[in-house]
Every structure is written in C-alpha cells, then in structure tokens.
C-alpha cells in the first residue's frame, strides 16, 4: 500500500529528488549514446 504524505515541509525534498533523477537519466542516456557511437574495431588502423 502506498503512503501519501500531504505535508508541505517535504515538498522541497521531493522536488530535489525529482531534479536529480532527471539529471541521472540524462547522464545515463549520454553515456550509453557515446558508448554506442565508438568504433569497436580499434586495431583496424594498424593493419
């Protein structure tokens, strides 16, 4: 069962956690995109 708090003193904490979770999702997306764009055959230039 979900506990619902309607206490305004907790709202800044909830807003902060929402903001950090958006930032974490954006960083994760950027890392995965950057990881996928790299060439996997690093030795091709030498041969």
Per residue in 1-47, pLDDT (tens digit) is 777 878 889 889 989 999 999 999 999 999 888 887 766 666 666 55
3-class state of residue 19 by DSSP = helix
d(CA 47, CA 44): 6
Predicted pLDDT of residue 43? 63
Q: Work out the end-to-end distance of the chain between its first and last CA atoms, rounded to an integer number of angstroms.
A: 62
Model pTM score: 0.57
Q: How far is CA 23 from the centre of its chain?
A: 5
Predicted pLDDT of residue 1? 74
């Amino acid at each position: 069962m979900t506990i619902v708090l309607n206490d305004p003193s907790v709202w800044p904490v909830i807003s902060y956690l929402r903001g950090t979770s958006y930032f974490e999702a954006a960083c994760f997306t950027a890392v995965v995109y950057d990881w996928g764009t790299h060439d996997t055959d690093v030795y091709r230039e030498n041969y």
